[in-house]
Structure 1
Amino acid sequence: MNRLFLCAIALVLIATPNLSAQTVRFDTNVGTFDMLLNPTGNPFLQGHVDNLLAYVEAGRYNTTVINRAATNFVLQMGGFQAPFLSLPGNFNAFPAVASFDPVVVDEDGDGQVDFDLGGLSNTRKTVSLALSGSPTNPNSGTSSFFINLSDDNDFLDASGFVPFAEIVNMATIDLITSLPQQNLDPNGGNLAAINIPVLEDNHLVIIERAFVVPTPQAMVQANLVPGNTVGPTLPSAAVLSVPEPSTVLLAAGALVFLALRKRGQFA
Structure 2
Amino acid sequence: MMTPTARRWLGALSAIYLLITTNTLQAQECDEGDDPSPVVTLATSEGDITLCLFHRKAPITVENFLKYVESGHYEGSIFHRVINGFMIQAGGFDERYEPLPSDSPIVNEAKKSKLHNVRGTIAMARTDDPDSATDQFFINHRNNLRLDWAPGKAGYAVFGKVKDKLSMSTVDFIATAPIKNRGGAFTDSPTKPVVINKVTWVNKP
TM-score when normalising by structure 1 = 0.58
Give the secondary-structure state (helix, strand or coil) at the position aligned to 1:115: helix
Following superposition, the deviation at residue 183 of structure 1 comes to 1.2
Report the equivalent of 1:140: 132
Q: Which runs of 5+ in 1 are unaligned?
A: 1-16, 83-92, 107-112, 215-238, 243-267
Deviations 1:8-46 (A, max 9, x none): xxxxxxxxx95210111000111001111007x32xx11
* Conservation of the 8 A alpha-carbon contact between 2:45 and 2:197: yes
Pairing partner for 1:207 from 187, 192, 196: 196
> Residue type matched to 1:140 in 2?
S
RMSD of aligned Cα (Å):
1.8
Pairing partner for 2:102 from 99, 102, 112: 99
Distance 2:172 2:89 in 1: 13
Deviations 1:41-69 (A, max 9, x none): 32xx1100100000000000000111111
Report the equivalent of 1:54: 67
How many residues are treated as equivalent by the alignment? 166
Once superposed, which parts of structure 1, at least 4 consecutive aligned residues long, lie more than 2 Å away?
none
Following superposition, the deviation at residue 114 of structure 1 comes to 4.8
**Structure (1 or 2) with the greater strand fraction:** 2
Report the equivalent of 1:184: 182
Report the equivalent of 1:10: none
Distance 1:66 1:129 in 2: 14
Following superposition, the deviation at residue 140 of structure 1 comes to 0.4
Structure 2 residue 39 is the aligned partner of structure 1 residue 23: yes
Distance 2:111 2:120 in 1: 24
Report the equivalent of 1:149: 141
Report the equivalent of 2:112: 115
Distance 1:167 1:77 in 2: 15
Structure 2 residue 81 is the aligned partner of structure 1 residue 65: no
Following superposition, the deviation at residue 72 of structure 1 comes to 0.6
Following superposition, the deviation at residue 178 of structure 1 comes to 1.5
> Residue type matched to 1:160 in 2?
G
Structure 2 residue 158 is the aligned partner of structure 1 residue 163: yes
* Conservation of the 8 A alpha-carbon contact between 2:118 and 2:140: yes
TM-score when normalising by structure 2 = 0.75
Give the secondary-structure state (helix, strand or coil) at the position aligned to 2:139: strand
Deviations 1:199-233 (A, max 9, x none): xxxx311000112013xxxxxxxxxxxxxxxxxxx
* Conservation of the 8 A alpha-carbon contact between 2:108 and 2:156: no
> Residue type matched to 1:157 in 2?
D
Report the equivalent of 1:129: 124
Q: Percent identity?
A: 30
Distance 1:50 1:149 in 2: 24
Distance 1:59 1:81 in 2: 13
* Conservation of the 8 A alpha-carbon contact between 1:177 and 1:197: no
> Residue type matched to 2:193 in 1?
L
Following superposition, the deviation at residue 171 of structure 1 comes to 0.7
Report the equivalent of 2:27: none
Pairing partner for 2:190 from 193, 197, 218: 197
> Residue type matched to 1:61 in 2?
Y
Report the equivalent of 2:91: 78
Distance 1:181 1:114 in 2: 33
Q: Which runs of 5+ in 2 are unaligned?
A: 1-32
